[in-house]
Amino acid sequence: MIALACDHTGIEMKKEIMKLLDGMGLEWKDFGVNEAVSCDYPIYGYRAAKAVADGECDHAILICGTGIGIGIAASKVKGVRVCTCSDVYSAELSKRHNNSNILTMGARVVGVDLAKMIATHWLTAEFEGGRHQRRIDMIAAIENGEEL
């Protein structure tokens, strides 16, 4: 299950991502927003990120104007690993090396076709484990207040 959320800038792009996921046979759950009225991205980023942290969803794709604000908000939820991407290479590597579980994109930064390509690469890439797992464990340790 993929959590989806956006602010007022990302509604059209989110609809396109919904269609992409439908085409890939992937289920999604929408955490809003769906009215093109100025709103606060932390609310929706938080709700979708919490669904990932709680295990209700496996991944999330979040959209705001830059992808940055909603990404910062989502990354405050313990247990998630957020990547904000505007290129395919970073998106794919963020999964293979960082096991990212939340992708954020900027509706004012990337076009819809590129966003769909980024999402496709991100969703289909697989975590490689090994030395990368050790580093992810270190990130979790930081999150738990441990010293490195």
- If one asks whether residue 42 binds ligand RB5 (CB under 6 A), the answer comes out as no
Nearest 10 degrees: CA dihedral of 48, 21, 106, 103?
50
Question: Does residue 97 carry a catalytic annotation?
Answer: yes
Q: Determine the interface stretch with ligand RB5 among 63-71, 77-85, 97-105, 119-127 (rule: CB under 6 A).
A: 63-71
- Residue 6 bears catalytic tag: no
Closest to 63 (Cα-Cα) out of 22, 119, 120: 119
Single-letter code of the amino acid located at 23: G
Q: Which of 4, 28, 33, 66 binds ligand RB5 (CB under 6 A)?
A: 66
Contact partners, residue 51, CB within 8 Å, separation at least 6: 3, 29, 31, 57, 60
CB of 7 or CB of 92, closer to ligand RB5: 7
Distance between CA atoms of residues 76 and 106, nearest Å: 19
* CB closer to ligand RB5 out of 71 and 95: 71
Q: 63 near 91, Cβ under 8 Å?
A: no
Judged by CB under 6 A, the residue of 9, 84, 101, 104 near ligand RB5 is 9
- Looking at the Cβ atoms of 69 and 125, the one nearer to ligand RB5 is 69
Residues that bind ligand RB5 (CB under 6 A): 7, 9, 41, 64-66, 68-69
